[in-house]
Each structure stands twice: as C-alpha cells, then as structure tokens.
Structure 1
C-alpha cells in the first residue's frame, strides 16, 4: 500500500455524505449522555467510574490548536511533548503508559496498529464538539489497551438549516492555521464536511541554534446520518483523513544530545466507520458496524528515504440489547460480538530485513454489559472474553456501584476492574534490524485497579465537585532493555508497578456568562519501589470563560505541571525536571454579525520548561485570528 492509495481511500470515505460518533443522537441529546460509559450511551450521572466531559465552550475558552493541550486541563492526565508543534506527543492517563489508553475518534479506534499508541501531535481542535474521558481499567468494555482508561473525541454533527463557517489565524513562529465547515440537512438526514490546515516554521528543537523544525497538518472530516426506517434503522457514516509532516533533530552520535540535522516524518492516517443501528419495540435495540484504521508513516534523513511502516486495522462489531423497567427498577443489558484484524508491514530501509517485518494479528471477543438503577441505587457490571491468535485468551471484568443522596444532592461511587494491553508489533518483531530486536515471547501487560469517589452538586452556587481516590497494580510491564553495543529489545518486568492517587475536579457557573473549571491530581507511580519517569506527582489546571458583553468573549487557562523524573541518555542517569506553569488566553470580539476577531496567547509567562530531556520547547506566542459563521 502506498500513500497514494491511502489518500484515495480517504477521499472515497469523504465523498459519501459523511458521520458522527457511535450514535445518531443530536449534540443536544449527547450533552446528557456519555458515549463511552457503557456499551451503549448512558447518562453521565449513571456512570460509576470517574468520567469527565469537555464541551465546546471549554474548548473555545482555552483556544488551543491541538487536543493534547486541551487535555492538560483534565484530572489524571499528563502530557509529554518532544519539542514544538508536531513533536511526538504522549498522553498518560493515571500514570499508565501512552499505549495503555484507548483513543477513539467518532467511534473508530485511532491508535497506531504498530504500537497501540495514538499520536496526539496530529490531532487539531478544529471541528471537535466534545471530549469524553473515562478513567481506570476499562478493558471489559473496550478491550486491549484500556488500562489507564478511554478518551473519545466527538466531532461536530450536521443538522438543521444549512450552516457555513470559516476561520484563519496567524502569529508566532510564522504559524498559520485555518478551517472551514459546511453542515445541514440532507433530505431526512444530516451531514457535515470540514477541513482544517496548520503550518508553522516551528523552533529548533535541538537548541543548537540551527534550522527550525517545522510542522504541517491537513485534516478532512465528514459525517452523515440518515433514518432508513425511522428509528428502526439508521445509517451512520464517518470519515476522517489526516496528513502531517513534522521535522525534527536526531541524536546522530548517540551521546544523548540532539544534533542539528534534517529529519522528516510524513504520516497519513485514515479513520472510517459505517454503522446501522435501530431502536425496536419493547425497548430492544441493535447496532452493527465496521471500522477501518490506516496509518502510513515514512521517515526521511537529509531528504532521502530512511524507513517506513504501514498498519491497517479492521474492526467488525455487532451489538444487541434491551432497555426497560421491571421489578421497580430500570435495566440495561447489552451483548457484544467483535472481530478485529490488524496488519503490519515495515520497511526498515535495509534490504533482506526478513519476513518478520510483515505480520497479521487477529482478536475476537464477546462481552456483556449490564446496568441497574432503582431509586438511589446504581449498579454497572461488564465482562469480556478475548480470543487472540497469538496470546492466551483472557477474561476481563469491571463492577461499579453508586448511591445517590438526594437530600444533599451527592453521589457516592466505587468500582473495580481489570485491564490488559497486548504487546505492540514493534516490540514483538523489532523495527530496525540489527538495532532493536523484537521479542515474540512477550506476554500481555495486565492491571487490576479500584477507585472510590464522591460527586457533589451545590445548587445555590451552581457548583459541581468531584473527588476520586484510585489504586492499580500492573504486572508483566513491557520495557526496553539496552545493551552496551547499542542494541535493545523488549522484555516483561518480573516486578509489579503500583499507581495510586487523588483526582479533584470542580465546575462553577456563578453567572450565565461566566464559568470556571478546575482540576488537581496527586499521583504516585512506582515500579518496584522506584518512581517512574514522565509522571509528575502533581498537576493542576484552571480554565475560565466569560462573556462580559454581547459581542465580547474572554477565555483563560493555567496548567501547572509539578516536578517529574526523566532519563538523561547522555549520562544514563535519572534527573528531575523542574515544575512549570503554562498560561494561555484568548479574547474575541464580534465586530459584525457572524464576524469575530480574536487575539490569542500561549505560554504567556514565557516559561523555559522541559517535557522531555534534550528537546527545546516553545516560548511565549501570540496569534491573531478572524472567523465567520453564516
């Protein structure tokens, strides 16, 4: 498969009136639901795990160009970015590794088939309606990789009268970004089509005073939903295409420090999904779907091809369930059958690398998900059995309970469950022949965790509070073992990793025109008693949005990242990275109907901070923008 074929596939997906998430609900209906809280969307108040929804107002108030920066404002999340725009960006949830969190975009599992890790550097905020975050071991619902939890990106659906919008912004680092969208009714259905582009000269990530490392990104997104037989049969289609080129600097002489050299990574990603779902008499419902993920990554050194990898994931699901009331209680029961096939092909740039660079892995699964609500009592229970053609079959489960205290408008909740992450194809079979040697004997990682929490509503203040304590224990953790001759391989640890912490969240709406959201996380993440790297013990965030007048809006954010450890590869020692605070703000003024001018700032304190040792980060930046809605 070539990049041309990937592009053709993307255009084919988007040429069909293109969709939206796992449900045909409107965005207004979704405001009361969380798509990933169960095998069928359920009210957020019925979830017994720790969950957060970031809406469009919060995204707009922060003004960030990329989803990873929005996620900095959520409890339990740590972000590590290697350099500036386009640098490898990893998101760790509750101290888990970056490949231990399932990431969905409109219902499609978007992580790389090679590593199980999603590249957040390529995910823009343009056209994103909301972000759902479900924390804790969730493999009983979402299969492999859901150890830290699940992140679901939901794009804006179409519907209503035809609407049009466009925006452009330019500023520091010779950065330009723009977006456009059209949406509306198509007969009885609804559709939307959007495009966004980002281009920046960036910074010199090596810090050696050499050439700047730029980044380009183009994203196309489409959705289409149509009632074939009313509610009894609804067709839902979604398509997304991402094309990115990121320049970077390598460590040529292996001394642990980056050298100013010309390296380029070009990535094409295609995500597509087709679903048929319906609600039948008596509370019965069904959904059948097929999802496709394609990732093509090519690396270039000094303008010449170096290596490439291609991955494809096909996912077929069938769900059937019942929602109803019996014995003075509300019930929900959903059964799932799933089949997933992942194909991998790698070109390490060395002739005769061997057939192990082309592999295929198949995983089938069955699952049951049950929900119970009676008066103040809540119960959720899930169980899943995975049948893998390479690893031992595994059963994962999760049970949660809650109790609503109506007199004080509070809810107590607790849950316990298991998670599993299968080894990635690079870990199993290697990537660079003669350098990183694969280990086909690797065993899946598995984790058991529990949490207890309290959610409190304070009506007189229009204030929502949430507090959660969690613990988890990870076994068979996969790590990279380095040899003196610069070769390396992947191994399972014989010791356990333990993670525990406290997550606090607050959302205050003192006025219709003002909101303030806050989050604080205290985390301990240890491997055999030693603190793990790139996991700050303390993170905190404040986000505020205010409309002081009809045509004005102001947004501001502050994200605090505490001290954290990292490995200095020049010495082989572990060192402490200093804490930092990133402050951002955006001001918008609607100077004419539908027209808005904006001024936005990032890192306004001009913090000289480090996320990953050896990589320079961006200083203070200012951007001016113009948008139109019609």
Structure 2
C-alpha cells in the first residue's frame, strides 16, 4: 500500500512545492539519502523550501498521491508506515495516541501544520496527542528523523512531523472523500479553493464518526468517537514580492473512555484551534526572503462521568502564542544562510474536581512560561552534488535558563547513483508547565538534552528500477525528566512536600534519567515491470534506560518494539483498476519500565483497491487487519480487528 521508491524515475524537473507528483507511481517517498536526480522534490521540514538532495538527515515524504492511495483515516496510521516510527493507542479511534520516532519519548517530537508548531501545554509532557489528527485536507506530510532543535527548538529530539495543506493552482478546484465501513464508521471531507486576482484561498471541512470498540480489552460496551473540523487559508499578493498569509484550523472530538478497571460511562471532549498570520517579503530579486509571523494554538480538554454526583472529572486548557521572524539570504547560488528569532509564551490551567458536590471545586493549577530562541544555519555547495551545512541555536527559558546547540551535516550525490550522507544534531526539551507548576511540580528543573548522529547510503540501479538504502543512527538523551514517588505519608526528602503549603505529596518531577537509542533503518524498492512496485522497510531500534543506579538500568524503554517492518506490493492493471497489499510487523515490547509486562509481536495484513470512473472520480475499498490479528500496543487495551471500508473520491 505504501511505497518507498527511488526518486529519480518518479518526478519531473517541473514539480512544484507541495504539489502532487505527475507520475501515478509517486506514492510515498522515503528518503534515506539524497537523490542526484531529485531536485524536483522540495521539502519544507527544513524551515525553507529545500531540494531533497540537499537534506543530510533521513526524511520520508508523503505526497497527496500517497495519502489518497493509502486510504488511511488518521495521520498516525500514515506515519506508522514510514521507517523508525512506532505507535501506542489506548483503544480505538480517538483514544490517547502516542507516536515515537527512533525510540524517543512521544513528547520529544515536534508536530507542525503549515509552519505552526502544535503541542498541548496543559498535558503532562507538553507533547501532541495524535488521537484527533485526521488526514483532513493534508496534501503533504514530511517526517524528518533525528534531533532537529537547531531549526525547530524545544521538543525536536526524536524528529519533526511537518503537515502541509494545499494552495490552489487553478481558478477553482476542489475535492471530496466519502466512505463508510465496519462498526458503523462514516467519514467525509471536502475542500474548495481557487485564485481570484491577487487572492488565493481554500476552505475545507471533515466529519468522522464510529461506534468503535471497547477501549478496555476485557470490556463489552463499545466506546464511540466523533470528530469534526474545518480549515481555511487565504494568501494575498499585496505588491510584487510581498504577500500576506492567514490560516486557521479547528477540530473537536468526543470519545468514550474506559477506566483501567472496567467499562465506564466516561467520555472526553477535546477542542483544538490553530491560527496563523504571516507577512512574506522577498527582496533583491528573491535572494533575501523574510517572514514575519504570529501563531496561536489553543487546546481545551474535559472529561465527564455522568454516573457521578459531579459529572465533570477533569478540566484543562493550554495555549501558545508565538512571534517569529525568519530570513534567508542567498549570497551566491551555492551559499545560503537561514536565520531567525522566536518568542513563545505558553500558559495552562488544570483542575480535577471531587465527584461529590459537597466538596468545593478547588482553584485550578496555573502556570506560565516564556521561551526565546535565536538560530542560524549556513549551507554551502562547494562542488556539484555536495552540500554541507552547519547551524547554531541559543534558547533562553524564563524558568529553566539558557541552552546553546550545534548541528552539522553533509550529503553527496554521486553520478553513479550512489548517495552518501551524514549528520550530527543536538536537541533539547524545556520542562513543561505541568512539570513546573502542578502539585507535583519542581521549579528547579533543567531542560532535557540530547545529541545524536546518523550516516546513510543509498544506491539506485538499472536506471532507477531498483533502489536500496540504509541508515545507522545513534542518540543519547540526558537530564530526562521522570516522576519520583515519595514514601507516603512522610518522607525525609524535602521535595516530598508541596511548595507553599507544607503538605506531603505523592511525588515530584526531577532530572535524573538517561536514555540511549541506536539502530538501523533499511529499505528497498523494485519496479520490475511497468505499473508494478514492490517495496519495504525494516527498522531495528534499540532504546534503553541508561540511568545510573536505577533499578531499570539496561531495560527496554516501554512500548518500543526493537523490530518493525513494512512491505507492500501495488499493481496498476491498465484499465483504471489499481490493487495492492501491505504487511506490517512489530516485534515484542514491554508495557512498563520494569519490563515485567510483555506486549507480544504481531503482523497486520491490509488489502486495498481503487477504480477510476473518470479522470476525477474514483471508487475505493480496503480491508484492514485482514487476518483479524488480536494484539495490544498498551497492556489491557484493545485494538481494531478486521475492518472493511469503501468509498468514493473526487478531485477537480
């Protein structure tokens, strides 16, 4: 279903940023190394439009053709098909969904939509929950692996997921997708946009509902999920070289929740809003480009249990306000500088009321933080095919102090079809508002720190009909923040007392953990005849606790299978029909830090088909988990069994 293919034969030199590839074979492109013939593929996860053969880090690019072909509902399912990615979910659609890149923590990944960083400052780890992120109007998804904090700041230790929505290329264009299937699942999305004089615009919306499965594996009631959202984008050409850009995204979700002990009537509501306003100024015939922007994200989460006297059991909200300037200057055709400054202000509130109306609702826990960063990166191409870059960044957190980072890399695309690359990067993650200000907070926390390197090679043979590649990576994370339990009700540890009240507490956060990860990502693609593609990838990821003196020293980090693999085959029959099959394997892992609870390995098999009624309308169908594999990614929580879906898609 998913394709990891050689870039050379797929895209012509005229392909544009965030547009579909002209070849129907251009599904997903996983790039373990740069491609000497891939100047047409442009990526933006590097914070500037960059030919993929100038990116020294491993990156997977999923274009619109790939997204349509995969037929996946959620972004997390798409990402799971790329190398180095693992996932855990507390049940079916809409339940807590954690994504990990190269064994890093789920909150050590930056998620970006059209340049706006997404995270939830009210959550414990401050990361992004993929539960409510459906494919929607996404036209392109890029997964940049490895520490990327030089350009993306806090949290970019595991990598960056960059989601791009489309700008119309015609006076009027649109799309629609409608499907239905197992467990009374119904999904629909539509978008419309166009160009009118200096104005380019696009609006879209989606709705999804399913009766779901019991989130708890031993449960009997179904836990349903609904999600609705809308997006809008307008770009206005004010004068030559000056454009204004406005974007907005909203999504709301409702999911039924099972408690750890059994079926309950609980449900959760989540509302997410993302806003962006930017001014783009190009000077000196486009050699000097400037972007001034304001981004805003807001997340509200509420849990309810109608069986209790006071139904609301949890209420939290978090927001980020981000001001930034980014510039790029091309000194020559072979020397370019990228630089910028950012200021991010975050706040949160959180409260868990008593279930009894006789107990007053406590004052919410509140907190604020400010993070300011400045960065610069220089890219040089001294000879044809060779690109070298180096960067530096300094961030200052008003609570956790300052941090300076460095990165460097190079990629060399040879005329023989061989591509070599290597990079070194550093990352950091500032302590979250919850870790600083909650009842378990510690105001003396320092940022988590990481450094890592990777080296890779790709070889294309037989005019691109065969492509193979491999990457080795290594990363060390120090000062990782963990929760330390206190000997309740009394402990000699002074941090086991709640600041300001003197009351004992169950625990607190502190910087003590150390984690190491290393591994190999390998992939291959074969095109033996026209219309037939066979491809796959394999990841060996060793992620371990290396905290000196800890009882868990040497243990596997939880929910990180060491072995994962994807394989797919796809064939275009020549009369409008395309069929394919995909297989995913995930090896065993452990559910907890002590490695006492094992999660078994599993194999998932999917089938898909699509038939073109015309150039703009297609019917499609798929079977997921065809063999009805019974498996878990979180202990005691269920996963979807065999599922059948069918629908219709239109593009005009």
What TM-score do the two structures reach when normalised by structure 2? 0.85
Q: Which moved more, 1:462-471 or 1:235-244?
A: 462-471
Cross-structure match for 2:291: 287
Q: Choose from 344, 349, 370 the match for 2:348.
A: 344
2-side partners of 1:190 and 1:508: how far apart?
40
Cross-structure match for 2:6: none
Give the CA deviation at 1:491: 3.2
Does structure 1 retain, via aligned residues, the 8 Å contact 2:475–2:516? Answer: yes
Does structure 2 retain, via aligned residues, the 8 Å contact 1:545–1:554? Answer: yes
Unpaired runs of at least 5, structure 2: 1-15, 22-38, 355-359, 490-504, 547-553
Q: Is residue 160 of structure 1 aligned with residue 170 of structure 2?
A: yes
Cross-structure match for 2:579: 554
Q: Is residue 585 of structure 1 aligned with residue 617 of structure 2?
A: no
Cross-structure match for 2:407: 398
Give the CA deviation at 1:506: 2.9
Does structure 2 retain, via aligned residues, the 8 Å contact 1:234–1:277? Answer: yes
1-side partners of 2:425 and 2:639: how far apart?
38
1-side partners of 2:578 and 2:236: how far apart?
36
Q: Choose from 195, 199, 224 the match for 2:234.
A: 224
Q: Which moved more, 1:316-325 or 1:534-543?
A: 316-325
2-side partners of 1:488 and 1:581: how far apart?
40
**Change in 2 beyond 3 A, CA 1:108/1:495:** closer
Does structure 1 retain, via aligned residues, the 8 Å contact 2:113–2:164? Answer: yes
1:454-483 residue CA offsets vs partner (Å, 9 max, x unmatched): 132335243333311111111111223345
Cross-structure match for 2:137: 127
Cross-structure match for 1:27: 19
Cross-structure match for 2:446: 443
Cross-structure match for 1:18: none
**Change in 2 beyond 3 A, CA 1:158/1:485:** farther
Q: Which moved more, 1:460-469 or 1:233-242?
A: 460-469
2-side partners of 1:584 and 1:62: how far apart?
10
Secondary structure at the counterpart of residue 591 of structure 2 = strand
Cross-structure match for 1:118: 128
1:101-139 residue CA offsets vs partner (Å, 9 max, x unmatched): 101011111121233211111111232111111111111
The list of structure 1 runs, each at least 4 consecutive aligned residues, that deviate by more than 6 angstroms after superposition, is none
RMSD: 2.2
2-side partners of 1:495 and 1:399: how far apart?
26
Cross-structure match for 2:479: 476
2-side partners of 1:67 and 1:526: how far apart?
27
Q: Choose from 535, 552, 558 the match for 1:533.
A: 558
1:386-440 residue CA offsets vs partner (Å, 9 max, x unmatched): 111111111111111223322x12121111121101122222223xx6xxx2222
Does structure 1 retain, via aligned residues, the 8 Å contact 2:481–2:513? Answer: no
**Change in 2 beyond 3 A, CA 1:84/1:485:** farther
Q: Is residue 506 of structure 1 aligned with residue 553 of structure 2?
A: no
1:316-355 residue CA offsets vs partner (Å, 9 max, x unmatched): 1112221142xxx601102201111011122222546456
Give the CA deviation at 1:57: 2.3
Q: Is residue 464 of structure 1 aligned with residue 446 of structure 2?
A: no
Cross-structure match for 2:321: 314
Cross-structure match for 2:158: 148
**Change in 2 beyond 3 A, CA 1:89/1:488:** farther
2-side partners of 1:610 and 1:215: how far apart?
19
The structure where helix makes up a greater share of residues is 1
Q: Choose from 36, 41, 49 the match for 1:41.
A: 49
What is the 5 A alignment of 1:261-410? 261-281=264-284, 283-302=287-306, 304-325=311-332, 330-349=334-353, 351=360, 353-354=362-363, 357-375=365-383, 376-406=385-415, 408-410=416-418
Secondary structure at the counterpart of residue 53 of structure 2 = helix
**Change in 2 beyond 3 A, CA 1:275/1:404:** same
**Change in 2 beyond 3 A, CA 1:517/1:218:** farther
Q: Is residue 205 of structure 1 aligned with residue 215 of structure 2?
A: yes
**Change in 2 beyond 3 A, CA 1:236/1:624:** same
Cross-structure match for 1:241: 250
Does structure 1 retain, via aligned residues, the 8 Å contact 2:19–2:64? Answer: no
**Change in 2 beyond 3 A, CA 1:539/1:26:** closer
Q: Is residue 418 of structure 1 aligned with residue 426 of structure 2?
A: yes
Does structure 2 retain, via aligned residues, the 8 Å contact 1:331–1:370? Answer: yes
2-side partners of 1:224 and 1:555: how far apart?
37
Give the CA deviation at 1:311: 0.8
Secondary structure at the counterpart of residue 45 of structure 2 = helix
Give the CA deviation at 1:31: 5.7
Give the CA deviation at 1:61: 2.5
1-side partners of 2:443 and 2:571: how far apart?
55
Cross-structure match for 1:627: 649
Q: Which moved more, 1:119-128 or 1:239-248?
A: 119-128
2-side partners of 1:286 and 1:457: how far apart?
37
Unpaired runs of at least 5, structure 1: 1-23, 252-257
Secondary structure at the counterpart of residue 128 of structure 1 = coil
Does structure 2 retain, via aligned residues, the 8 Å contact 1:439–1:489? Answer: no
Q: Which moved more, 1:150-159 or 1:541-550?
A: 541-550
Does structure 1 retain, via aligned residues, the 8 Å contact 2:420–2:456? Answer: yes
What TM-score do the two structures reach when normalised by structure 1? 0.88
Secondary structure at the counterpart of residue 597 of structure 2 = strand
1:492-536 residue CA offsets vs partner (Å, 9 max, x unmatched): 353521111011133444556344442211011111222211110
2-side partners of 1:85 and 1:578: how far apart?
21
Give the CA deviation at 1:614: 1.0
**Change in 2 beyond 3 A, CA 1:567/1:530:** closer
What is the 5 A alignment of 1:537-616? 537-567=562-592, 574-591=596-613, 594-616=616-638
Give the CA deviation at 1:272: 1.4
Cross-structure match for 2:11: none
2-side partners of 1:26 and 1:417: how far apart?
26
1:269-294 residue CA offsets vs partner (Å, 9 max, x unmatched): 01111111132225111111111101
Secondary structure at the counterpart of residue 27 of structure 1 = coil
1:55-77 residue CA offsets vs partner (Å, 9 max, x unmatched): 22222232111111111111111
2-side partners of 1:229 and 1:245: how far apart?
44
**Change in 2 beyond 3 A, CA 1:597/1:485:** farther
1-side partners of 2:447 and 2:316: how far apart?
23
**Change in 2 beyond 3 A, CA 1:222/1:542:** farther
Give the CA deviation at 1:366: 0.9
